[in-house]
A and B are shown apart, each in its own frame.
Chain A
C-alpha cells in the first residue's frame, strides 16, 4: 500500500533547461499556462506544438519519464474527446449512425482540447522534471519578495517549505519503519475487512505523530539556540543567478505570445 513511493519527479541532467534560473522557469510556465488558451485554429496549435515539443526535446529528459507524466491525463483526454465527438454538432456530418452522428466540428474540437491538455501537462511537468523542489522554493521566495512590503511573511513561508522538503524523506523512512514494526505485531494494512484495516491505522498514527511533534520541538529549540531570528540580514547558501539564457527564454515566451495573437482566428 506504500509501494513505489517516489517523492518529486526531478530527473538530474545538465541541459540548458536544467541549468536555467528557477525564477525564469516559473515565470515562463505561469505565462504559458495562460496563453495556451489563445490557440484556436490549426496554425496556432501547430506553432504551440512546435514550441512545446521543441522545449521538451531541448531538456533532454528521457522519453519514458515524460510519458509517465502523461498517463493520468489520458482518461480525461479520452473522456472529453468522446463528449465532443457526440455532442458538438457543427460542420458537415462525417459518420451517420442513425441515432447519432459525428460532425466535423466535434472531431476538430476534440482534437484541439486534447492537444491543449497534452501541451499543458508536457510543459508543466517539464518544470518539476528539470527543477528540484528546493530550487522551486528558492525561486518562489525570490519572486514573492515584493510582498514583504505588505507584511506577508515571505521568509517564514520559504523556511517552512524548505523544512518540509528536508523532512519528507526522514519522516517517510520513519513511517515505513513503524508500519513494518506494527505489521510484525500482526497489523494488517492492505488486506482483511475494512474495519480492521482502519483500526490498524491508529497504532501507526500515534507513534508517528508523537515523534513528529517531538522533532518539531527539537528543531525549534535548535534554531533558537543557534540564534535564528528571521529573514532580516540573513545570507543564503544557494544563490540564484539570472543568466543570459533566462532573459532569452522569457523573450521566447514573449515571441510565442505575439505569434499566437497573430495566428489565432
Chain B
C-alpha cells in the first residue's frame, strides 16, 4: 500500500538532476537572496580594487617594485576567500544546525553530509569567481599583468581555500549558533587580514611583523600569490605552511563537528 495523498507518484527519471546538484542550486539561490555576503565578499573587494587602481602610479619601490593596485590584488583575493569561508560558511552551517535543518536532512536518504558538501561547493565557487573578476578587472582596467605562473597561482589558491574553508568548519563546529559563528568568524577575519597586509602591505611591514605574517594562513597565501603573479614558483615553505593549516583545521573540524 502506498499513500494516495502523495499520489500520483513520479519515479525518478533519467537525466533528472541529482539531489546534490539540487542542494547546490538551492544553497546558491539562498546565498544570493541574502545579498549582504555578496556585497561584502565580492562588491567590497571590487570597490577597493577600483580605488587602488585610481591611486596607482606605476611600479613603486616601497611596494617591492609592484604598483599599488598590483600589490593589493593578492590581498583582495585573500579577502574574498576569507569572507566566504569564515563568515558565510560557518554562519549558515551553525544556523542550520541550531534550527534542526541538518537533523531533518539526516532523516532523508540524502543526509546532511551532502548539504555540507553543497555549502563548501557554493562558497568556494563564488570566491573563485570573485578572484577571476579581480584578475580580469585589474588586467583590463588597470593593466595589472595576469599571473605569470598560473599553475602555482592555482595551487596556492586551492591551498588557501582549503585552509580557510576548514577553519570556517572549525568555527561552525564550535559555535553554538549562527550569530555566534558570525561573530567568531569576524574576530578571526580581522587579524588574519591584518597579517595578509590589508592595512599595511607586507612590503611595508617591519621585519618582526613580516616574520609573523609569513607564518599566518593569509600572510603565507598573499606571499605565495605575489610570487606567482610575478612569475616565480611559490616557496616550498610557504606552500607547506598553507597545507599544514588546512590539515590541522580539517582535523579539528572533523573531531568536533556535530549535526545537532
Check if A and B associate.
no
- Chain B residues close to A by CB (< 8 Å): none
